[in-house]
Protein backbone atom coordinates (compact mmCIF):
# COMPACT_ATOMS: atom_id res chain seq x y z
CA UNK A 1 0.00 0.00 0.00
CA UNK A 2 1.53 3.37 -1.01
CA UNK A 3 2.16 5.70 1.91
CA UNK A 4 1.65 9.40 1.18
CA UNK A 5 2.19 12.63 3.10
CA UNK A 6 0.09 15.68 2.21
CA UNK A 7 1.21 18.96 3.69
CA UNK A 8 -1.61 21.47 3.92
CA UNK A 9 -3.90 18.44 3.87
CA UNK A 10 -6.64 20.16 5.90
CA UNK A 11 -6.95 23.00 3.39
CA UNK A 12 -9.37 23.35 0.50
CA UNK A 13 -7.37 21.45 -2.14
CA UNK A 14 -5.33 19.39 0.32
CA UNK A 15 -8.46 17.87 1.83
CA UNK A 16 -9.90 16.96 -1.59
CA UNK A 17 -6.57 15.28 -2.34
CA UNK A 18 -6.74 13.35 0.95
CA UNK A 19 -10.14 12.04 -0.19
CA UNK A 20 -8.78 11.07 -3.60
CA UNK A 21 -5.69 9.30 -2.25
CA UNK A 22 -7.74 7.36 0.30
CA UNK A 23 -10.05 6.34 -2.57
CA UNK A 24 -6.98 5.23 -4.58
CA UNK A 25 -5.96 2.92 -1.73
CA UNK A 26 -3.13 4.98 -0.22
CA UNK A 27 -2.29 5.34 3.43
CA UNK A 28 -2.52 9.10 3.95
CA UNK A 29 -0.69 11.22 6.50
CA UNK A 30 -2.21 14.69 6.53
CA UNK A 31 -0.04 17.45 8.00
CA UNK A 32 -1.40 20.93 8.64
CA UNK A 33 -0.81 23.74 11.14
CA UNK A 34 -4.45 24.86 10.66
CA UNK A 35 -3.42 28.45 9.89
CA UNK A 36 -5.84 28.52 6.96
CA UNK A 37 -6.90 24.84 6.94
CA UNK A 38 -9.71 23.40 9.08
CA UNK A 39 -10.36 20.11 10.85
CA UNK A 40 -13.92 20.29 9.46
CA UNK A 41 -12.45 19.54 6.00
CA UNK A 42 -10.96 16.20 7.06
CA UNK A 43 -12.90 14.97 10.10
CA UNK A 44 -15.01 12.64 7.92
CA UNK A 45 -11.72 10.74 7.31
CA UNK A 46 -10.92 10.22 11.01
CA UNK A 47 -12.66 6.80 11.23
CA UNK A 48 -10.53 5.59 8.31
CA UNK A 49 -7.61 3.33 9.44
CA UNK A 50 -5.46 4.51 6.56
CA UNK A 51 -5.76 8.19 7.58
CA UNK A 52 -3.65 10.07 10.14
CA UNK A 53 -3.71 13.76 10.98
CA UNK A 54 -0.62 15.49 12.40
CA UNK A 55 -0.85 19.11 13.50
CA UNK A 56 2.54 20.51 12.56
CA UNK A 57 4.02 23.54 10.82
CA UNK A 58 6.23 22.41 7.91
CA UNK A 59 8.55 25.38 8.37
CA UNK A 60 9.93 23.43 11.36
CA UNK A 61 11.87 20.19 10.84
CA UNK A 62 9.57 17.37 9.70
CA UNK A 63 10.01 13.74 10.60
CA UNK A 64 7.68 10.88 9.71
CA UNK A 65 8.61 7.39 10.99
CA UNK A 66 8.47 4.58 8.43
CA UNK A 67 8.53 4.59 4.64
CA UNK A 68 7.03 7.27 2.41
CA UNK A 69 6.27 6.84 -1.30
CA UNK A 70 4.80 10.23 -2.17
CA UNK A 71 4.72 13.74 -0.70
CA UNK A 72 2.25 16.33 -1.96
CA UNK A 73 3.39 19.75 -0.73
CA UNK A 74 0.25 21.89 -0.51
CA UNK A 75 0.96 23.85 2.67
CA UNK A 76 0.70 27.62 2.12
CA UNK A 77 -1.76 30.43 2.52
CA UNK A 78 -3.18 30.76 -1.00
CA UNK A 79 -5.62 33.65 -1.07
CA UNK A 80 -4.31 37.22 -1.45
CA UNK A 81 -6.04 38.24 1.80
CA UNK A 82 -4.34 35.38 3.69
CA UNK A 83 -0.87 35.89 2.36
CA UNK A 84 -1.05 39.64 2.90
CA UNK A 85 -2.06 38.93 6.49
CA UNK A 86 0.75 36.36 6.92
CA UNK A 87 3.51 37.67 4.63
CA UNK A 88 6.50 36.25 6.52
CA UNK A 89 4.91 32.90 7.13
CA UNK A 90 3.99 32.69 3.45
CA UNK A 91 7.63 33.25 2.51
CA UNK A 92 8.78 30.75 5.12
CA UNK A 93 6.44 27.96 4.07
CA UNK A 94 7.41 28.35 0.40
CA UNK A 95 11.12 28.48 1.21
CA UNK A 96 11.90 26.66 4.49
CA UNK A 97 8.83 24.41 4.27
CA UNK A 98 9.71 23.31 0.75
CA UNK A 99 13.32 22.67 1.80
CA UNK A 100 12.14 20.48 4.71
CA UNK A 101 9.77 18.56 2.42
CA UNK A 102 12.52 17.95 -0.16
CA UNK A 103 14.94 16.86 2.54
CA UNK A 104 12.40 14.38 3.91
CA UNK A 105 11.70 13.10 0.38
CA UNK A 106 15.41 12.57 -0.27
CA UNK A 107 15.78 10.65 2.98
CA UNK A 108 12.77 8.43 2.19
CA UNK A 109 13.25 8.15 -1.59
CA UNK A 110 9.74 9.58 -2.02
CA UNK A 111 8.34 11.34 -5.09
CA UNK A 112 7.40 14.97 -4.40
CA UNK A 113 4.64 16.96 -6.05
CA UNK A 114 4.89 20.71 -5.43
CA UNK A 115 1.76 22.85 -5.53
CA UNK A 116 2.89 25.90 -7.45
CA UNK A 117 0.67 28.59 -8.90
CA UNK A 118 -0.27 30.74 -11.85
CA UNK A 119 1.04 33.58 -9.66
CA UNK A 120 4.55 32.66 -10.83
CA UNK A 121 3.51 34.47 -14.04
CA UNK A 122 2.66 37.63 -12.03
CA UNK A 123 0.80 40.25 -14.08
CA UNK A 124 1.51 38.44 -17.34
CA UNK A 125 2.70 40.11 -20.51
CA UNK A 126 2.15 36.91 -22.50
CA UNK A 127 -1.42 35.69 -22.88
CA UNK A 128 -2.49 32.92 -22.41
CA UNK A 129 0.39 31.71 -20.25
CA UNK A 130 2.43 28.66 -21.37
CA UNK A 131 4.83 27.01 -18.92
CA UNK A 132 7.75 28.44 -20.92
CA UNK A 133 6.74 32.02 -19.98
CA UNK A 134 8.98 33.27 -17.16
CA UNK A 135 6.55 35.80 -15.74
CA UNK A 136 6.31 39.44 -14.73
CA UNK A 137 6.58 39.52 -10.94
CA UNK A 138 7.56 42.39 -8.65
CA UNK A 139 9.68 40.93 -5.83
CA UNK A 140 8.74 43.83 -3.55
CA UNK A 141 5.06 44.20 -4.46
CA UNK A 142 2.40 43.01 -1.97
CA UNK A 143 1.98 39.73 -3.86
CA UNK A 144 5.75 39.18 -3.96
CA UNK A 145 5.59 37.23 -0.69
CA UNK A 146 3.54 34.51 -2.36
CA UNK A 147 4.81 34.76 -5.93
CA UNK A 148 8.49 34.74 -5.02
CA UNK A 149 8.04 32.02 -2.38
CA UNK A 150 6.49 29.78 -5.01
CA UNK A 151 9.13 30.69 -7.57
CA UNK A 152 11.82 29.83 -5.02
CA UNK A 153 9.97 26.58 -4.22
CA UNK A 154 10.03 25.65 -7.92
CA UNK A 155 13.75 26.49 -8.14
CA UNK A 156 14.50 24.40 -5.03
CA UNK A 157 12.41 21.49 -6.34
CA UNK A 158 14.23 21.47 -9.69
CA UNK A 159 17.58 21.73 -7.86
CA UNK A 160 16.78 18.60 -5.80
CA UNK A 161 15.69 16.86 -9.00
CA UNK A 162 18.89 17.80 -10.83
CA UNK A 163 21.39 17.52 -7.98
CA UNK A 164 19.99 14.50 -6.13
CA UNK A 165 17.95 12.78 -8.85
CA UNK A 166 14.83 13.19 -6.70
CA UNK A 167 11.58 12.37 -8.50
CA UNK A 168 9.69 15.67 -8.58
CA UNK A 169 6.50 17.05 -10.13
CA UNK A 170 5.41 20.70 -10.25
CA UNK A 171 1.81 21.76 -10.83
CA UNK A 172 1.01 25.40 -11.55
CA UNK A 173 -2.52 25.76 -10.29
CA UNK A 174 -4.83 28.42 -11.73
CA UNK A 175 -7.85 29.81 -9.82
CA UNK A 176 -9.79 26.85 -8.46
CA UNK A 177 -13.10 26.78 -6.59
CA UNK A 178 -15.54 24.40 -4.98
CA UNK A 179 -16.79 23.16 -1.61
CA UNK A 180 -14.45 23.64 1.40
CA UNK A 181 -13.18 27.07 0.38
CA UNK A 182 -13.33 29.37 3.37
CA UNK A 183 -16.23 31.77 3.12
CA UNK A 184 -14.06 34.61 4.45
CA UNK A 185 -10.85 33.90 2.55
CA UNK A 186 -11.35 37.05 0.50
CA UNK A 187 -11.11 35.43 -2.90
CA UNK A 188 -13.57 36.48 -5.57
CA UNK A 189 -15.87 33.45 -5.58
CA UNK A 190 -16.33 32.92 -1.80
CA UNK A 191 -16.71 36.67 -1.43
CA UNK A 192 -19.35 36.95 -4.19
CA UNK A 193 -21.27 33.87 -2.99
CA UNK A 194 -21.28 35.17 0.60
CA UNK A 195 -22.34 38.67 -0.40
CA UNK A 196 -25.04 37.44 -2.80
CA UNK A 197 -26.50 34.97 -0.27
CA UNK A 198 -26.59 37.62 2.48
CA UNK A 199 -28.09 40.20 0.10
CA UNK A 200 -25.09 42.49 0.59
CA UNK A 201 -23.50 44.54 -2.21
CA UNK A 202 -21.10 42.56 -4.42
CA UNK A 203 -17.66 44.19 -4.25
CA UNK A 204 -16.02 44.18 -7.68
CA UNK A 205 -12.49 45.60 -7.56
CA UNK A 206 -11.48 48.02 -10.30
CA UNK A 207 -13.92 48.13 -13.22
CA UNK A 208 -14.19 44.34 -13.21
CA UNK A 209 -12.60 43.99 -16.65
CA UNK A 210 -9.68 41.94 -15.25
CA UNK A 211 -9.97 38.30 -16.24
CA UNK A 212 -9.48 34.94 -14.54
CA UNK A 213 -10.09 31.32 -15.59
CA UNK A 214 -11.86 29.26 -12.92
CA UNK A 215 -11.41 25.51 -12.49
CA UNK A 216 -13.75 23.27 -10.51
CA UNK A 217 -11.91 21.34 -7.78
CA UNK A 218 -12.78 17.86 -9.10
CA UNK A 219 -11.14 18.65 -12.43
CA UNK A 220 -8.03 19.91 -10.67
CA UNK A 221 -7.75 16.85 -8.42
CA UNK A 222 -7.94 14.58 -11.47
CA UNK A 223 -5.12 16.55 -13.14
CA UNK A 224 -2.97 16.41 -10.00
CA UNK A 225 -3.49 12.67 -9.70
CA UNK A 226 -2.44 12.15 -13.32
CA UNK A 227 0.62 14.37 -12.86
CA UNK A 228 1.63 12.53 -9.69
CA UNK A 229 1.47 9.22 -11.57
CA UNK A 230 3.32 10.60 -14.63
CA UNK A 231 7.09 10.70 -15.14
CA UNK A 232 7.18 14.40 -16.08
CA UNK A 233 9.44 16.65 -13.95
CA UNK A 234 8.85 20.05 -15.62
CA UNK A 235 6.04 22.36 -14.44
CA UNK A 236 2.53 21.68 -15.79
CA UNK A 237 -0.28 24.26 -15.85
CA UNK A 238 -3.60 22.97 -14.61
CA UNK A 239 -6.56 25.25 -15.11
CA UNK A 240 -9.68 25.81 -17.11
CA UNK A 241 -8.85 27.85 -20.22
CA UNK A 242 -12.34 29.40 -20.26
CA UNK A 243 -11.51 33.05 -19.47
CA UNK A 244 -14.08 35.42 -17.98
CA UNK A 245 -14.11 38.96 -16.57
CA UNK A 246 -14.64 39.37 -12.84
CA UNK A 247 -17.70 41.55 -13.54
CA UNK A 248 -19.24 38.73 -15.58
CA UNK A 249 -18.63 36.20 -12.77
CA UNK A 250 -20.24 38.58 -10.27
CA UNK A 251 -23.32 38.75 -12.53
CA UNK A 252 -23.40 34.95 -12.92
CA UNK A 253 -23.40 34.47 -9.14
CA UNK A 254 -26.18 37.04 -8.64
CA UNK A 255 -28.23 35.21 -11.26
CA UNK A 256 -27.49 31.73 -9.85
CA UNK A 257 -28.35 32.67 -6.27
CA UNK A 258 -31.40 34.69 -7.31
CA UNK A 259 -29.97 37.50 -5.19
CA UNK A 260 -31.13 41.11 -5.21
CA UNK A 261 -27.58 42.31 -4.42
CA UNK A 262 -26.26 45.23 -6.43
CA UNK A 263 -22.69 45.47 -7.71
CA UNK A 264 -20.43 48.13 -6.18
CA UNK A 265 -16.98 49.02 -7.48
CA UNK A 266 -14.00 49.30 -5.13
CA UNK A 267 -10.32 50.15 -5.82
CA UNK A 268 -8.26 47.49 -7.56
CA UNK A 269 -5.59 46.10 -5.19
CA UNK A 270 -1.95 46.85 -6.07
CA UNK A 271 -0.40 44.20 -8.30
CA UNK A 272 -3.73 42.58 -9.19
CA UNK A 273 -3.07 40.74 -12.49
CA UNK A 274 -5.14 42.14 -15.38
CA UNK A 275 -5.48 38.86 -17.25
CA UNK A 276 -4.97 35.18 -16.50
CA UNK A 277 -5.60 32.17 -18.70
CA UNK A 278 -3.71 28.89 -18.77
CA UNK A 279 -2.26 27.43 -21.93
CA UNK A 280 -2.97 23.74 -21.21
CA UNK A 281 -1.41 22.20 -24.30
CA UNK A 282 1.22 20.51 -22.08
CA UNK A 283 -1.34 19.01 -19.70
CA UNK A 284 -3.35 17.73 -22.66
CA UNK A 285 -0.30 16.20 -24.33
CA UNK A 286 1.45 14.72 -21.27
CA UNK A 287 -1.51 13.84 -19.06
CA UNK A 288 -4.38 13.55 -21.54
CA UNK A 289 -6.15 16.00 -19.23
CA UNK A 290 -8.57 18.79 -19.84
CA UNK A 291 -11.28 20.16 -17.56
CA UNK A 292 -14.70 18.56 -17.88
CA UNK A 293 -16.86 20.76 -15.63
CA UNK A 294 -18.26 23.97 -17.13
CA UNK A 295 -18.33 27.08 -14.96
CA UNK A 296 -22.14 27.00 -14.93
CA UNK A 297 -22.15 23.40 -13.61
CA UNK A 298 -19.31 24.01 -11.15
CA UNK A 299 -20.89 27.11 -9.66
CA UNK A 300 -24.21 25.25 -9.34
CA UNK A 301 -22.44 22.36 -7.58
CA UNK A 302 -20.75 24.79 -5.17
CA UNK A 303 -23.84 26.81 -4.25
CA UNK A 304 -25.26 24.41 -1.59
CA UNK A 305 -21.94 24.46 0.27
CA UNK A 306 -21.80 28.26 0.47
CA UNK A 307 -25.49 28.40 1.37
CA UNK A 308 -24.74 26.14 4.34
CA UNK A 309 -21.72 28.24 5.35
CA UNK A 310 -23.76 31.45 5.30
CA UNK A 311 -26.50 29.77 7.36
CA UNK A 312 -23.92 28.54 9.88
CA UNK A 313 -22.41 31.99 10.10
CA UNK A 314 -25.78 33.52 10.92
CA UNK A 315 -26.41 30.80 13.54
CA UNK A 316 -29.58 29.59 11.82
CA UNK A 317 -30.67 25.95 11.92
CA UNK A 318 -29.47 23.92 8.95
CA UNK A 319 -25.90 25.25 9.06
CA UNK A 320 -23.12 22.85 10.03
CA UNK A 321 -20.34 23.71 12.48
CA UNK A 322 -17.63 25.99 11.08
N1 LIG B 1 -11.99 40.46 -6.62
C2 LIG B 1 -13.05 41.34 -6.64
N3 LIG B 1 -13.82 41.44 -5.51
C4 LIG B 1 -13.60 40.71 -4.40
C5 LIG B 1 -12.52 39.79 -4.38
C6 LIG B 1 -11.73 39.69 -5.52
O7 LIG B 1 -13.30 42.04 -7.63
O8 LIG B 1 -14.36 40.89 -3.43
C9 LIG B 1 -11.14 40.36 -7.83
C10 LIG B 1 -9.66 40.54 -7.55
O11 LIG B 1 -9.32 41.91 -7.58
C12 LIG B 1 -9.05 39.78 -8.73
C13 LIG B 1 -10.06 38.67 -8.99
O14 LIG B 1 -11.27 39.07 -8.35
O15 LIG B 1 -8.97 40.61 -9.86
C16 LIG B 1 -9.65 37.32 -8.43
O17 LIG B 1 -9.24 37.53 -7.11
P18 LIG B 1 -8.91 36.35 -6.11
O19 LIG B 1 -8.66 37.00 -4.80
O20 LIG B 1 -9.96 35.33 -6.18
O21 LIG B 1 -7.58 35.67 -6.61
P22 LIG B 1 -6.36 36.11 -7.56
O23 LIG B 1 -6.68 35.50 -8.86
O24 LIG B 1 -6.28 37.61 -7.66
O25 LIG B 1 -5.19 35.52 -6.89
Is the CB of 269 inside a 6 Å radius of any atom of ligand 1?
yes
Cβ proximity of 35 and 204 under 8 Å: no
Mean pLDDT over the full length of the chain: 96
In testing the pocket of ligand 1, which one of 246, 266, 267, 302 has its CB within 8 Å of the most ligand atoms?
A: 246
- Please write the tens of the pLDDT for every residue from 185-197: 999 999 999 999 9
| Per-residue CA distances from 165 to 112, 116, 139 (Å) | 12, 20, 29
pTM passes above 0.85 = yes
Question: In this structure, which residue's CA is closest to atom 24 in ligand 1?
Answer: 272
Cβ proximity of 280 and 237 under 8 Å: yes
Residue extents of the structural domains in the chain: 3-177+215-238
Q: How many helices (H) and strands (E) does the chain have?
A: 10, 13
- Please write the tens of the pLDDT for every residue from 108-152: 999 999 999 999 999 999 999 999 999 999 999 999 999 999 999
Give the pLDDT confidence score for residue 321 in this predicted structure.
44
Give the 3-state DSSP-derived string for 43-95, with helices as H, strands as E and coil as C: HHHCCCCCEEEEECCCCCCCCCCCCCCEEEECCCCCCHHHHHHCHHHHHHHHH
Q: Which CATH class is domain 3-177+215-238?
A: alpha beta
Three-state DSSP class for residue 267: coil
Q: What are phi and psi of 235, to 5 degrees?
A: -60, 145
Give the pLDDT confidence score for residue 4 in this predicted structure.
98
* H or E stretch covering 236: strand 235-238
Amino acid sequence: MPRTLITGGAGFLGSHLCDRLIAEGHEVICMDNLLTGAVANIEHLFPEDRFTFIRHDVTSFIWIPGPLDYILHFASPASPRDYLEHPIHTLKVGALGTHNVLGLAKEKGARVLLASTSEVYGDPLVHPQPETYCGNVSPIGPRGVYDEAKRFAEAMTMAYHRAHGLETRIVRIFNTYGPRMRLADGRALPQFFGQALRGEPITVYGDGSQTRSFTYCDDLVEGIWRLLMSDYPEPVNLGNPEEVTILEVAREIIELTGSSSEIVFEPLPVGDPKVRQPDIERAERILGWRPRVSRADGLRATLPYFRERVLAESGQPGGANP
